[in-house]
């Protein structure tokens, strides 16, 4: 198949591209490199630099399937990047959906599990959460209005190789691993009791590909079945911990909804503690 991955030079997108190439698909990445990196390039993938809002200009070889991962990625930082959030998550996604409708291409949209957080209150707690939540509604309506062939996935706190570990777009596990490697105290956002279902990148990619092949409709959650408190994960490293003030938009919990994905034959198989044990053994 010809497959387009928006955000294909990012953390999740690069792993997805890598697996798709292994499966002999013709893969193209469209990425503006706001959080992606050329260091994540995979041999055999065609890379196009640009914004999703310009998809009609940039993508001339029409794909059979689109994985749309190329949106603004962070809750807390989205308060400071409102223009970027709007451009990427609203204008860009609108153009990607139009592209898929006009060319009759199936889209797998990467929604955000944030909208399920704190009994649904987290969907409106940040610009990121709101744009991602309303985009899932837009995808569903494009299916109703224009016959768009779609499937919507939801990730839960992805970790693994190539995750961002420094800067405003860093992930929780990425930050902890980097701080552990640097020999500095681990910083935990208050209150520390917030629950996260940390999910290994390989489990995410397996779920994405399966949904791309067989999934139709909404609510394909891809997440670890077990939740962990952030403070407990930090303690596992056995290093000094420093608490930092709570941040706007930071949810305390999130409902895990993986039933539809498991019906397709998916299940999470990787252990967070096994991953951390490898890190501790390597850098301890």
* Mean pLDDT computed over every residue of the chain: 96
Report the pLDDT value the prediction gives residue 214, as an integer from 0 to 100: 98
Please, which residues have CB within 8 angstroms of residue 206's CB and are 6 or more apart in sequence?
19, 266
* 3-class SS of residue 119: helix
The residue-averaged pLDDT of 179-196 equals 96
Residue 118 clears pLDDT 90, i.e. is over it: no
Length of the chain: 284
CB 109 within 8 A of CB 153: yes
pTM to 2 decimal places: 0.95
CB 228 within 8 A of CB 198: yes
User: What dotted CATH number matches 2-283?
Assistant: 3.40.50.720
Residue ranges per structural domain of the chain: 2-283
Helix residue spans in 2-153 (DSSP H): 11-22, 55-58, 82-86, 93-102, 127-146
Helices (H) and strands (E) in the chain, counts: 10, 13
Residue 85 clears pLDDT 80, i.e. is over it: yes
Report the pLDDT value the prediction gives residue 248, as an integer from 0 to 100: 83
Please, which residues have CB within 8 angstroms of residue 232's CB and are 6 or more apart in sequence?
none
The residue-averaged pLDDT of 141-165 equals 97
């Amino acid at each position: 198949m010809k497959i387009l991955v928006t955000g294909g030079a990012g953390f999740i997108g690069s792993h997805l591209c890598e697996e798709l190439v292994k499966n002999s698909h013709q893969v193209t990445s469209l990425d503006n490199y706001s959080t992606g990196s050329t260091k994540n390039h995979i041999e055999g993938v065609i890379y196009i630099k640009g914004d999703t809002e310009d998809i009609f200009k940039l993508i001339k070889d029409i794909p059979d399937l689109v994985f749309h991962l190329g949106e603004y990625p962070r809750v807390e930082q989205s308060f400071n990047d409102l223009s970027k959030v709007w451009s990427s998550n609203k204008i860009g996604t609108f153009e990607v959906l139009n592209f898929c409708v006009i060319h009759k291409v199936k889209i797998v949209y990467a929604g955000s599990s944030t909208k399920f957080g704190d009994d649904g209150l987290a969907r409106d707690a940040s610009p990121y959460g709101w744009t991602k939540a309303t985009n899932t509604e837009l995808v569903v309506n494009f299916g109703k209005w224009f016959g768009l062939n779609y499937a919507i996935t939801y990730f839960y706190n992805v970790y693994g190789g190539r995750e961002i570990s420094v800067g405003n777009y860093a992930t929780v596990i990425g930050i902890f691993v980097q701080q552990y490697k640097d020999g500095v105290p681990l910083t935990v956002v208050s209150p520390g009791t917030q629950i996260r279902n940390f999910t290994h990148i390989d489990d995410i990619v397996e779920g994405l590909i399966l949904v791309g092949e067989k999934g139709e409709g909404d609510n394909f959650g891809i997440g670890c079945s077990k939740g962990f408190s952030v403070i407990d994960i930090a303690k596992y490293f056995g290093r000094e911990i420093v608490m930092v003030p709570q941040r706007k938009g930071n949810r305390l919990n999130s409902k895990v909804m993986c039933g539809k994905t498991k019906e397709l034959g998916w299940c999470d198989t990787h252990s967070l503690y096994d991953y951390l044990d490898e890190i501790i053994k390597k850098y301890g």
